[in-house]
Amino acid sequence: MRIADALAAGRELGVDRLDTQLLLAHRLGRSRAWLLAHDEDLLSRATATAFSADLARRAAGVPFAYLVGEREFHGLTLRVTPDVLVPRPDTEVLVDWALELLPPGAPARVADLGTGSGAIALAVKNARPQASLTASDRSAEALAVAADNAARLGLDIEFVHGEWWSPLAGRRFDLVLSNPPYIAGADPHLAALQHEPRGALTPEGDGLDALRRIVAGAAPHLEAGAWLLLEHGYDQAEAVQALLVGAGFSQVSTRRDLGGQPRCTGGRR
Ligand code: GLN
């Protein structure tokens, strides 16, 4: 099979043209520019077979990041597997807010609850090496992916196993961040996200359970003046603000994501 035929096969399956090109470039270990300049070259049978499988999976909705095994987040290349949510650009807003609150050089203690691939904790540690980062997840499989990312990137993070605050008994932080599951259990968007771990996307019910639990348990884990910053759904800002105000937080405010949706809400203890 020629490269040109392989790219045509993507078209026939309805796979996005750029995805098709990048998937084949990844298989060949070449750049996209190389690929387009060599479209008469023949693929080995093994590459052609593997690429056909990639195309079929992409056409079935498997995220591109799972097929190539990595995703860029806040300037870092992270390994991702189906055990973790694919990091979203929207979550960079949470990281940027955290970095504004962390003066460079300050030895702050920062926690990331439900770290998944480790994206948030790793991005903060990368930008603020003096901070000490603790990242939790209830999924041992996710923690293994996050620990592998930390090792590859040479970033020192403490990983703890357990849900929300439970592995952090008796510990206090200067800043706590979380992108918990927040999609409502009956939200039709979940159908399009079926290849990602459901438990990382939705706490079921109205989508607010994880956010409620994080806010409710926060006080004993935050130093006076510490901030808690939470990612949430586009229609949950008011509810999360009410949770934070109700739990006694001050300076409660919301920031928008790159698409202009209210996406992160934080408050100060
Ligand atoms: N932002 C993700 C999405 O809507 C959901 C992530 C989450 O639930 N934390 O695809």
Task: Give pLDDT tens digits for 41-50.
Answer: 999 999 999 9
Where are the extended beta strands (E) located within the chain?
70-73, 76-79, 109-113, 132-137, 157-161, 173-178, 222-231, 250-256, 262-268
Please report, for residues 40, 216, 240, 244, 265, the alpha-carbon distance to residue 247 in angstroms, rounded to integers and kept in the order given: 64, 7, 11, 5, 14
| Number of neighbours of residue 235 by Cβ within 10 angstroms | 11
CATH 3.40.50.150 holds for 70-268: yes
Name which residue sits closest to atom 5 of ligand 1, judged by CA.
Answer: 201
Distance (Å, rounded) from C-alpha 49 to C-alpha 65? 20
pLDDT digits (tens, 9 = 90+) for 163-212: 999 999 999 999 999 999 999 999 999 999 999 999 999 999 999 999 99
Q: Which pLDDT value is given to residue 240?
A: 98
What atom of ligand 1 comes closest to residue 201's alpha carbon?
8
- The DSSP secondary-structure symbol of 2 reads B
From 231, 235, 236, 240, mutation site for ligand 1 pocket: most ligand atoms within 8 A of C-beta: 231
CA distance 260 to 265: 14
Per-residue model confidence (pLDDT) at position 157: 98
Q: Is the CB of 116 under 6 A from ligand 1?
A: no
Cβ atoms 240, 232 nearer than 8 A? yes
The pLDDT value recorded for residue 106 is: 87
For atom 3 of ligand 1, the residue with the nearest CA is 201
Q: Can you tell me which atom of ligand 1 is nearest the CA of 182?
A: 8
Contact present, 124 and 134 (Cβ < 8 Å): no
- Tell me how far apart the alpha carbons of residues 66 and 58 are, in angstroms, rounded to a whole number: 9
Distance 13 CA to ligand 1 centre (A): 27
The per-residue pLDDT for 185 is 98
Beta strands (DSSP E) in 12-122 are 70-73, 76-79, 109-113
> Are the C-beta atoms of residues 222 and 172 closer than 8 Å to each other?
yes
Contact predicate 112/159, CB 8 Å: no
Domain boundaries, the chain: 3-60, 70-268
Spans of the chain, pLDDT less than 50: none
